[in-house]
Amino acid sequence: MPASSLDATAQKSGASATGLVALILATLFAGAAIYILVAEQPARLALEDRSLLLQWQESYPRAARMQAGLAVLASLVGTIAYWRARGRLWLVGATLMLANLPFTLIVIAPVNDALLALGSEQASAASRALIERWGVLHGVRAGLSVLAIAAFMLATARGGYHSALRK
């Protein structure tokens, strides 16, 4: 096999491996986001207002740090896969993952700040409504990550992951 063919195969394989890492990171983000939506948020909303607010305030900072890290890493690795393979779908997925950050900072942060500023004695129907709104906004983040997963999966399928490894 000519050296240029080996180089091309190695480049495809490297891009595919990098892309799979991006896919895994995006899937971890989506899994955490969806878990929050289908398990934590409904359980939390079953609580009375004071406990609801306290539980949200306790869980939010930890989850936010973890998800922000996953979003940045998935975007970075997806961008590297794009750079290696020049497949636009890698860039689409990376952009969708990165979109979680400005969406969080611009749209969700005011809700977060309002909830974090409340004392437990201020828990009320208004704080419950804010937490319900937060859940809807968090659903957008989950949706962005699911779209990123779809882009990464399509990029993987189109990038010849299996054929690059067989050659």
Instruction: Give me the residue spans of the domains in the chain.
Output: 8-162
Say what the pLDDT of residue 83 is.
Answer: 92
Q: Rounded to an integer, what distance in angstroms lies between the CA atom of residue 33 and that of residue 11? A: 33
Return the amino acid letter for 159.
Answer: G
Convert the pLDDT of each residue in 121-153 to its tens digit: 999 999 999 999 999 999 999 999 999 999 999
Q: Rounded to an integer, what distance in angstroms lies between the CA atom of residue 160 and that of residue 166? A: 10
Mapped onto helix, strand or coil, the DSSP state of residue 86 is coil
Say what the pLDDT of residue 78 is.
Answer: 96
Say what the pLDDT of residue 63 is.
Answer: 82
Say what the pLDDT of residue 103 is.
Answer: 96
Say what the pLDDT of residue 14 is.
Answer: 58
Between 3-35 and 88-98, two packed helices, what is the crossing angle to 10 degrees? 30
Tokens of 8: 């091309």
Give the 3-state DSSP-derived string for 37-85, with helices as H, strands as E and coil as C. HHHHHHHHHCCCHHHHHHHHHHHHHHHHHHHHHHHHHHHHHHHHHHHHH
Say what the pLDDT of residue 62 is.
Answer: 81
Say what the pLDDT of residue 158 is.
Answer: 84
Parts of the chain with a pLDDT under 50: 5-10, 160-167
Contact 30, 96 (CB under 8 A): no
Say what the pLDDT of residue 66 is.
Answer: 87
Place of tokens 């955490």: 32
Say what the pLDDT of residue 161 is.
Answer: 46
Say what the pLDDT of residue 13 is.
Answer: 56
